[in-house]
Amino acid sequence: MPMAHATVGTITAIAAVYILLAAGTGLLPEKFGFAKFVLWMRRVQGLWWVVLLLAFASYVRLSIRDLLRK
């Protein structure tokens, strides 16, 4: 589960930076830009919620495993 959290978190962070570059700056060429920023931002926000839930699930799973060993 921690590996899934790390993978989804990395993908989400890269997507968020890409949206920021595409929407907020002129650093990207026109062909790499896109429209409907709100839709893409909502998708990335949904992915952040998945990352948060995976982090919580990983913490609980590892904490319970350690508590049961004692």
The predicted-structure confidence for 9-45, as pLDDT tens digits, reads as follows 999 999 999 888 888 777 777 777 777 788 889 999 9
With residues binned 3-state (H G I as helix, E B as strand, rest as coil), the percentages for the chain, rounded to 5, are 85, 0, 15
**Using an 8 Å Cβ cutoff, are 14 and 40 in contact?**
no
Question: What length is written for the chain?
Answer: 70
Looking at residue 6, what is its pLDDT?
A: 93
Domain range holding 29? 2-69
- 18 alpha carbon, distance to own chain's centre: 12
H helices present in 25-36, as ranges: none
Element (H, E) at 26: none
pTM of the model: 0.77
The mean pLDDT of 49-53, rounded to a whole number, is 96
Number of domain units in the chain: 1
